[in-house]
Amino acid sequence: MSLYGRDFLSIQEWSTEELEQVLDLAADLKEKQQRREAHPILRGKTLGMIFQKSSTRTRVSFEVGMWQLGGQALFLSANDLQIGRGEPVKDTARVLSRYLDGIMIRTFSHAEVEELAAYADIPVINGLTDRLHPCQAMADLLTIREHKGSLKGLKMAYIGDGNNMVHSLMHGCAKFGMDISVATPTAYEPNAGIVAAAKQVAQGTGSRIELTQDVLEAAAGADVLYTDVWASMGMESEQVARQAVFKNYQINQQVLAAADKKAIVLHCLPAHRGEEITEDVLEGPQSVVFDEAENRLHVQKAVMALVMGE
């Protein structure tokens, strides 16, 4: 099926079949890259990358990915754009549409990304917002599929803050028939509307989505353990307070022992060792965190190739 011209703002907005197409192409492009086989699918195309939040993995993986696909990427910080000086998003969207073949944006407000997509005539890819992180979640799903062979029927345990990461993971698990048990402290649960939307999709795929405050209950029998930082970017002022609230929401040897003995451990990085995950687990034999980080490159190349390539 053709996905040319589509925006990728949320996993929820794409069908399971379309998402499978992303994972299949990502796996194929990964093999091609490992063989050093050229795949200039986007030769002559240009991606504009808008960054209002700093990044390591997002910038490098999109920029390198675009180069490997035969195109080029332009880094555009808030300081480089008139949007940072008050130009309306809708004007920026229409101007950039005349110059570029696609836009990736990493910012705070999800509504801003939706407005950008509404007014742009070219595909818009969500590189992260405070609400969602779909490219990372797709890289996670690719990593799980590589290590487990399939996705349907597996159980993921997410331990930590009910943030943008778990929102996209719930969407992804629901689409692929994976169970997900989310353990968060009281008052730090995922967005209720996103939970409800994911549960609605899950009814059709056989996925179970559960919320709990009990870390070991969430981890029991899990095939995948997942965590993220306790205080996301922009929440630095809450770091000390959150350390007290989240001190028991950590992936450690006790939590690992509660999961399936062949469980894999994921973390979207950057990691704060000794907080949300212990050093021995992150560096241990069940950690596939750096496979996961690599897969950002391959998944994003697949998304770009599908929505920008004719």
**CATH-assigned architecture of domain 136-292:** 3-Layer(aba) Sandwich (3.40)
Q: How far apart are CA 258 and CA 194, in angstroms?
A: 28
The active-site residue out of 133, 145, 171, 298 is 133
Is 291 part of the annotated catalytic residue set? no
- What is the reported pLDDT for 84? 61
- Given pLDDT bands bounded at 50, 70 and 90, which one contains residue 157? very high
Within the chain, how many helices (H) and strands (E) appear?
Answer: 12, 9
- Report cis status (omega within 30 of 0) of the bond before 190: no
Whether the pLDDT of residue 140 is over 90: the answer is yes
Is 228 part of the annotated catalytic residue set? yes
Residues β-bridged to residue 181: 157, 210
Q: Does domain 11-133+296-308 have CATH number 3.20.20.70?
A: no
Span 142-149, mean pLDDT?
A: 98
Whether the pLDDT of residue 218 is over 90: the answer is yes
- Given pLDDT bands bounded at 50, 70 and 90, which one contains residue 164? very high
For 2-36, what is each residue's pLDDT tens digit?
A: 999 999 999 999 999 999 999 999 999 999 999 99
Is 136 part of the annotated catalytic residue set? yes
For 55-98, what is each residue's pLDDT tens digit?
A: 899 999 999 999 999 999 999 987 888 876 788 999 999 999 99
Whether the pLDDT of residue 234 is over 90: the answer is no
Is 36 part of the annotated catalytic residue set? no
DSSP tag of 160: S
Q: How far apart are CA 92 and CA 86, in angstroms?
A: 10
Whole-prediction pTM value? 0.97
The active-site residue out of 57, 106, 167, 242 is 106
The active-site residue out of 33, 136, 250, 300 is 136
Domain with CATH 3.40.50.1370 in the chain: 11-133+296-308, 136-292
- What is the reported pLDDT for 86? 81
Q: For all residues of the chain together, what is the average pLDDT?
A: 96
The active-site residue out of 228, 250, 260, 267 is 228
Is 300 part of the annotated catalytic residue set? no
C-alpha distances out from residue 77 to 86, 292, 300, Å: 14, 26, 20
Is 167 part of the annotated catalytic residue set? no
C-alpha distances out from residue 178 to 22, 123, 134, 196, 238, Å: 17, 29, 16, 16, 32
